[in-house]
Amino acid sequence: MVVGDFPIEIDTLVIGAGPGGYVAAIRAAQTGQKVTIVDKGALGGVCLNVGCIPSKALIQAGHRYEEAHGAEEMGITAENVKVDFSKVQNWKNSVVNKLTSGVEGLLKGNKVDIVKGEVYFVDQNTVRVMDETSSQTYIFNNCIIATGSTPIEIPTFKYSKRILDSTGALNLKEVPKRLVVIGGGYVGTELGTAYANFGTEVTILEGMDDILGGFEKDMSAIVKKRLKKKNVKVVTKAMAKASVETEDSVKVTYEANGKEETIETDYVLVTVGRYPNTREIGLEELGIEMTDRGVVKIDKQCRTNLDNIYAIGDIVEGPPLAHKASYEGKIAAEAIAGHKSEIDYRGIPAVVFSDPELATVGYTEKEAKEQGYNVKSAKFPFAANGRALSLGSGDGFVRLVTREEDGLVIGAQIAGTNASDMISELSLAIESGMTAEDLALTIHAHPTLGEITMEAAEVIMGTPIHVVK
């Protein structure tokens, strides 16, 4: 191994080039800092390469294939619809490549030095960066750790040719005839739905009493209704116990309702959560405070117990959301620059690209009451919206949660087509301190799905037009 002769001195070191790290590096550079970003993998991290972006591309391709079969209720029929899955994968990969090359251009355009290698902390101001042939020492004033997370592996379902994590499921060479998904959270539901749209016989095994546990039951119920139409079998309170893999299949044994069952499948997708990548980089030796799960403890500026080292994204408390990591990256970079920026998660939405989509922001009605609020909530159905009906997407609703005394919007949930886009207006409403009256008085274009938000606000105020009071 060749060792660098002299240490390189920099203002800020960013470890990890995912949606948290590369955003942090760019914002730090914009504030005048000399920045180096290090990652052992591809720029863009899990999100751009094997997560958010390729999964949404695959989901969209699945929707297109499903839609290509026609809509008899609209008088449209189609025959001999085929899918060339190798071309689907090539298209998906082209989307990924455009974005990752774009990230590289953004970093270089902001004069961020890009280094590939693995990092190990020597002390509070020094790291060693190693690749296969060399080692280089960097001395920094400040450091932002954004190393992300890794899928959890079940001991009885070791990853292999036919037992896959989300990365493996995204890179299959063919559309499987059968797929068992262990875990009915957002990843399992999204990818299970995508393959069901391609015609795969999908079974979802969920250990809890419902899929999509982070969302309210009236939201997940709409998704389950659609899954049933796609012939997806959902088994709740199911414990996956064992697997026997052959050359061309896997036998899965699980227990549900006190009874042991066996199912044979082409592939198994394991999506039971992720663990933070905080091991083997020297954090414990450095004295960084972490929880028993390996989650790094931070303050409101993303600062660890060592005042020049910051942590963001999946390695800190909170849901593993790309946009949360990006947000925290900006906060950390600005804190290093001496700004008074602090994290405030009130307006951060969570989205599942299921069918239909689900989105939530702020408090649910139950959470608001538990926090001591007197609340008023109301929902407006997609079925009463002209644009939704013209799209053939009448399932779902927008629900607003407001403070009873003044109508302040403190939460919202959307189940329905384009929920992922619609939630941003409600995130803005919470962030800006808007009331239901503010939303109701905002003129929304007609006919659009956005009108549903306005109509829900009118229901809260007791002046609905398109539903009977």
Residues forming the annotated binding site?
Answer: 56, 147-149, 183-190, 206, 273, 314
Q: Out of 69, 339, 446, 466, which one is annotated catalytic? A: 446
| Known binding residues for FAD | 56, 147-149, 314
Nearest residue to 189 (alpha-carbon basis) of 234, 231, 156, 229: 234
**Rounded Cα gap, residues 200 and 194, in angstroms:** 9
Burial of 259 per CB tally in 10 Å (0-12, 13-18, 19+) = exposed
CB 53, CB 96: distance < 8 Å: yes
Buried b (16+ CB within 10 A) or exposed e, 16-55: bbbbbbbbbbbbbbeeebebbbbbbebbbbbbbbbbbbbb
Would you state the structure tokens that stand for residue 45, as one six-digit string? 């991290």
Would you state the structure tokens that stand for residue 64, as one six-digit string? 């297109």
Nearest residue to 320 (alpha-carbon basis) of 147, 137, 102, 143: 147
Would you state the structure tokens that stand for residue 460, as one six-digit string? 């809260």
Burial of 234 per CB tally in 10 Å (0-12, 13-18, 19+) = buried
Q: Kind and range of the H or E element at 168?
A: helix 166-170
Burial of 206 per CB tally in 10 Å (0-12, 13-18, 19+) = buried
Q: What residue type is 304 in one-letter code?
A: T
Would you state the structure tokens that stand for residue 284, as one six-digit string? 């414990």
**Strand 201-205 with 178-182, pairing:** parallel
| Known binding residues for NAD(+) | 183-190, 206, 273
Q: How many helices (H) and strands (E) does the chain have?
A: 14, 25
Q: What phi, psi does 165 have (nearest 5°)? A: -90, -175
Q: What residue type is 132 in one-letter code?
A: E
- Whether 69 sits among the annotated catalytic residues: the reply is no
**Rounded Cα gap, residues 215 and 349, in angstroms:** 12
Nearest residue to 320 (alpha-carbon basis) of 47, 94, 136: 47
Would you state the structure tokens that stand for residue 69, as one six-digit string? 């079969």
Query: Which residues are known catalytic residues?
Result: 446
